[in-house]
Amino acid sequence: MLGRMEDVTPQEGQRRVQAGALLVDVREQNEYDEVRAHGAQLLPLSEFEARHSELPRDRELVMICRSGARSARAGEFLKAQGYTQVVNLAGGTMAWVNDGLPHTQGQTEQG
């Protein structure tokens, strides 16, 4: 699997977060404000290269965006920087919400 980041389902992503992984949302602030997976930490892709060092290297990172493409790019970038525990949430926030997992819509928590 060298060079390829693992994709996980929303259910597997939630399981990993419950086990201690950090859910990192790489969408922009306005997207995050509209709807976000419960517990997601925002680090917008537009700021990612400058701020990626804020992310822990000793904890698994589950990357998430709207549909999975931007988070995959961010995860590949992290792997190139030496991060070893990085996975991508396939389908992104849309899949998370569609699967009925806990999320915040605007200011109201769902699920």
Express each pLDDT in 39-97 by its tens digit: 999 999 999 999 999 999 999 999 999 999 999 999 999 999 999 999 999 999 999 99
The whole-model pTM stands at 0.94
Domain that holds residue 94: 6-100
Task: Tell me: pLDDT of 3 over 70.
Answer: no
Residue 27 lies in a domain: yes
- Would you say residue 16 has pLDDT above 60? yes
Residue 70 counted as domain residue: yes
Q: Report the candidate in 81, 84, 102 with the shortest Cα–Cα distance to residue 93.
A: 102
Q: The CATH number of the domain where 20 resides is what?
A: 3.40.250.10
Q: Is 65 a catalytic residue?
A: yes
Give the active site residue among 37, 65, 72, 74. Answer: 65
Nearest alpha-carbon partner for 68 in 90, 42, 86: 90
Query: pLDDT confidence of 109, banded at 50, 70, 90?
Result: confident
Q: How many domains does the chain have?
A: 1
Whether 59 is covered by a domain: the verdict is: yes
The distance of Cα 17 from the centroid of its chain, to the nearest Å, equals 10
Residues 75, 6 contacting (CB under 8 angstroms)? no
